[in-house]
Amino acid sequence: MKFAFPLPHMLRLKALTQPWEAGVTGADQTRMVKRAEAMGYDMIAIPEHFVIPTDHVELSGPHYLQSTVAQAYVAGATEKIRLNSCVTVLPLQHPIVLAKALATADWMSSGRMMVTFGVGWLQREFDVLGVPFRERGRIADEYLEAIIELWTSESPRFEGHYVSFRDMAFEPKPVQKPHLPIWVGGDADAALKRAARFASGWWPFLTPPEKIGERVEFIKGQPGYDGRPFEVMHGLGTTRVGEGHRVVRDPRARAGASTQEIVDRLNGLAEQGVTFSAVPVPAVRDVEEYLDYAQWVIEEIKPRVP
């Protein structure tokens, strides 16, 4: 099992965020990612939204970064840890511009970038940016094809409904070959079919932990899946967040469980095919206590999970 470091103040989600996290600064985060790397964490992932409607701020909070910019910054502050997103809202971004940003960050970080693409769920965010919400799945599929073409072809050429290009050069290519790892986030059949076709990983959000295994089998049973290695991410606190970021009271997902409870849950996830997870931090008072708990997870939990 590989471990993601839950960097505070990436968002202010009512279901997960502790009040003190709103005071965490970029300078604090820079220090924390360096410590997380030194501790032995495997990945940091950055959430993304561009705008939050005012009637949704109570649940979702107003604070989100642009995932690729934040990933690139964290990559520059570290040397080894992998940088992912959770998730990059693909239909809201031009694929050539996004492909360039991700390839640039992968090139400059010596091949440490990853990306988790999602189609989005917040319709008013699409309305503000002028993207047709009901077409977001078709847009995402086409953008994914275009991005992979840009990353892998010496003479990129693509003809689609939403984007077309030809007779041009595109560099730098990603350092990682054939391209940086693409994961897909989401729980609907369409998302899982997209993962089978394009991705080397899946990030479920609303799928119950006990159903992850059968959904992984669904992915691997699709015609687009070719047997490639496949990662699955599920944090232990995920089930505290429901559809639309509503708060879910799930006692299994509480922070501050005992060592054996955490180990048992992680081993159960591993049996479902989960390869990455994160342990939620219990109530603490500040950055130092947060880092102390993160160190405890690496020293006491990680060695006991295959």
Q: 95 preceded by cis ω (within 30°)?
A: no
**Of the candidates 48, 167, 28, the residue with the CA atom closest to the CA atom of residue 102:** 48
- The three-state (H, E, C) secondary structure of the chain, written as one string: CEEECCCCCCCCCCCCCCHHHHHCCHHHHHHHHHHHHHHCCCEEEECCCCCCCHHHHHHHCCCCCCHHHHHHHHHHHCCCCEEEECCEEHHHCCHHHHHHHHHHHHHHCCCCECEEEECCCCHHHHHHHCCCHHHHHHHHHHHHHHHHHHHHCCCCCEECCCCEECCCCCCCCCCCCCCCCEEEECCCHHHHHHHHHHCCEEECCCCCHHHHHHHHHHHHCCCCCCCCCCEEECCCCHHHECHHHCECCCHHHCCCCCHHHHHHHHHHHHHCCCCEECCCCCCCCCHHHHHHHHHHHHHHHHHHCC
Tally the residues of the chain: 306
CA distance 195 to 203: 10
**Residue 101 in this model has a pLDDT that exceeds 90:** yes
**Residue 146 in this model has a pLDDT that exceeds 90:** yes
pLDDT above 70 coverage of the chain, percent: 100
Q: Is the pTM above the cut of 0.85?
A: yes
Mean pLDDT, to the nearest integer, of 72-78? 98
Average of per-residue pLDDT values in the chain: 97
Tell me the pLDDT tens digit for each residue of 217-263: 999 999 999 999 999 999 999 998 999 998 888 877 778 889 999 99
- Give 252 or 8, the one with higher predicted confidence: 8
